Amino acid sequence: MISNDINNVRPRGRWIKILLFPLALLLLSAIPARAQSCVAMGGMIDGFVNPVPPSQIQIDGNCTFRNFPASNPLTTNISFFTNPGNNNERWLVIFDNVDFIGNMACNAVLGNHIWFVNGSFTTLRPSCQNLFIPVEKIDKQNPAGQTTAAIGVPFTYKLTIPVLFDPQTGTVINNQGSPNDLHSVVVTDDLNATGAVLSYVSHTAYWKSSGTPVTHSFSNVGGVLTFSNFPIIPAGQQIVIDITVVLKNDPANTPGTQFSNTAKWEFGRLIDDIFYQPLPGEWGVTPPMTIVAPNLVMTKTGPTTMALGQWAQFALDVQNTGSGDAWNVTLLDRFPKGNSGGTCSTTPQILSAQVFQADGITPVAAKGPLVPGTDFSISYAGAPTCELTLTMLTAASTIGANQRLIITYRTQLDANSQTAAQLTNVAGAIQWFNGDSSIPTRKSSTGPLTNGTPGILDNQDAFTVTAALPLAVSTQATELL
């Protein structure tokens, strides 16, 4: 009996130990992990250096979180070591280029400040958002009304520094400046990080209120532009930097490519009578622009037959199927000349020239009938060349995207033209540009003039007319029969 009792007790002890073990693990797992000290981590948590941050951070000094974009958001839970009565110190917490989706314990921590720039947040409680302070921002804009850019045609970005920005609403709350003096401003603009291949052309910097130049230093290192050594920008004052750039003639700059430019900066300023430097500012990011380029296709039309001694009317219809304006278009019309006849002997007469909408009927606003010799030049070379050259000269003759330049003229058969002769001439757009003639770096496009490539819609076209006897001659012949 004793031995049986002993044998029965031992198994029960083992089962109790087995049951207690997972319970102990459960209790241990319920104990919250201890938050790491931000000061002990050097006051900086940088996602580009350590992409996996601690799960919990305690703010026990000035602390900066940076470089946790949407592709690697910051999930850390943040608490403050600032219990009233225990620790009266208050600190600045900087979030720079951070998408924050963690949690933050902000109860009873008034006096701390959150400096939040160039990111977003989705989980902060109202008590935390009360710690946010307005921040200074660069207002960076494309040229007014411009949403496109062409290769080789310079354009100018405008940077107005500073405006005051509310990170909670994502809006500018004062576009006339800041209530704070800004010290040691440094602006960096990386032209290599735009999505296109850009080149620096020039810049100016001046006080917005007076237009007076602002003293500063500038460097361009491989397309990274740095502006520094500005004087203090007093409260309520602003400086403007105009940066002129140009799209390079590079294979990467294909039509349809969108690009955007970002100006980053830092400065020093007072926050509750404490001077902080450097502080990251809210970046200036331009709306996207699209690379455009013109592309021309030609259609030539006319009568099916021509009679000796009579005028016949023809039309050159040039449509821009590209996305950018076509400037200074040159058209070449090569007339037939041979033993069976042609249309080379008579100098063609221009009847009309105008730019229309895509329908070929509706005139384009501010583009009325083109004046020969003013809006376009005319050159005709007779036999043996037999070529009519027309070159557009003014903005009124520019062909915008989807627009059509339609030119009509009339001419006559050569005297040696034989009845039923098939006379073919070839016309085409042989050169055009993506900017006006004042821009030396504009890009030119050329198109060959060969056989008119029948059946292919491109820069050239061929048209064939049949020579016929005059109507009067045909009637006399009938009467003789």
pLDDT at 342: 96
Q: Are residues 327 and 467 both part of a single domain?
A: yes
Instruction: Calculate mean pLDDT across residues 435-450.
Output: 96
Q: Are residues 85 and 46 both part of a single domain?
A: yes
CA Rg value for the chain: 38
Q: Residue 470 above 90 pLDDT?
A: no
Question: Which of 83, 115, 133 lies at the terminal end of a domain, its last residue?
Answer: 133
- Per residue in 299-316, pLDDT (tens digit) is 999 999 999 999 999 999
Query: Is 184 inside a domain boundary?
Result: yes
Q: Residue 480 above 90 pLDDT?
A: no
Q: Are residues 358 and 470 both part of a single domain?
A: yes
Higher per-residue pLDDT: 444 or 90: 444
Q: Residue 345 above 50 pLDDT?
A: yes
Q: Residue 109 above 60 pLDDT?
A: yes
- What is the phi/psi pair of residue 9, to 5°? -70, -40
What is the number of structural domains in the chain?
A: 3
Question: Which of 229, 263, 291 lies at the terminal end of a domain, its last residue?
Answer: 291
Query: Is 481 inside a domain boundary?
Result: no
pLDDT at 89: 77
Q: Are residues 464 and 319 both part of a single domain?
A: yes
Which class for 227: exposed (0-12), middle (13-18), buried (19 or more C-beta within 10 A)? Answer: buried
Range of the domain at 408: 296-474
Query: Is 23 inside a domain boundary?
Result: no
- Letter for the amino acid at 391? T
Name the band, by pLDDT with cuts 50, 70 and 90, for residue 11. Answer: very low
Question: Which of 106, 133, 160 lies at the terminal end of a domain, its last residue?
Answer: 133
Q: What percentage of the chain has pLDDT greater than the value 90?
A: 81
Q: Residue 92 above 60 pLDDT?
A: yes
Q: Are residues 71 and 155 both part of a single domain?
A: no
Higher per-residue pLDDT: 5 or 361: 361
Of 126, 56, 135, nearest to 94 by C-alpha is 135
Alpha-helical regions (H) of 273-360: none
Name the band, by pLDDT with cuts 50, 70 and 90, for residue 44. Answer: very high
pTM of the model: 0.85
Q: Are residues 324 and 414 both part of a single domain?
A: yes
Of 238, 179, 180, nearest to 207 by C-alpha is 238
Instruction: Calculate mean pLDDT across residues 317-333.
Output: 98
Higher per-residue pLDDT: 322 or 6: 322
Query: Is 100 inside a domain boundary?
Result: yes
Instruction: Calculate mean pLDDT across residues 315-324.
Output: 98
Query: Is 244 inside a domain boundary?
Result: yes
Instruction: Calculate mean pLDDT across residues 444-448.
Output: 95
Contacts with 313 (C-beta within 8 Å, 6 or more apart), sequence order = 302, 303, 351, 408, 409, 410
Q: Residue 127 above 80 pLDDT?
A: no
Q: Are residues 264 and 188 both part of a single domain?
A: yes
Query: Is 21 inside a domain boundary?
Result: no
Query: Is 6 inside a domain boundary?
Result: no
- Rounded to whole angstroms, the Cα distance separating 58 from 43 reads 11
Query: Is 26 inside a domain boundary?
Result: no
Name the band, by pLDDT with cuts 50, 70 and 90, for residue 105. Answer: confident
pLDDT at 23: 43
Q: Are residues 188 and 215 both part of a single domain?
A: yes
Task: Report the CATH number that the domain containing residue 391 is assigned in CATH.
Answer: 2.60.40.740
Q: Are residues 143 and 283 both part of a single domain?
A: yes
Q: Are residues 388 and 279 both part of a single domain?
A: no
Name the band, by pLDDT with cuts 50, 70 and 90, for residue 138. Answer: very high
Q: Are residues 337 and 270 both part of a single domain?
A: no
Q: Are residues 328 and 414 both part of a single domain?
A: yes
- Per residue in 112-122, pLDDT (tens digit) is 899 999 999 88
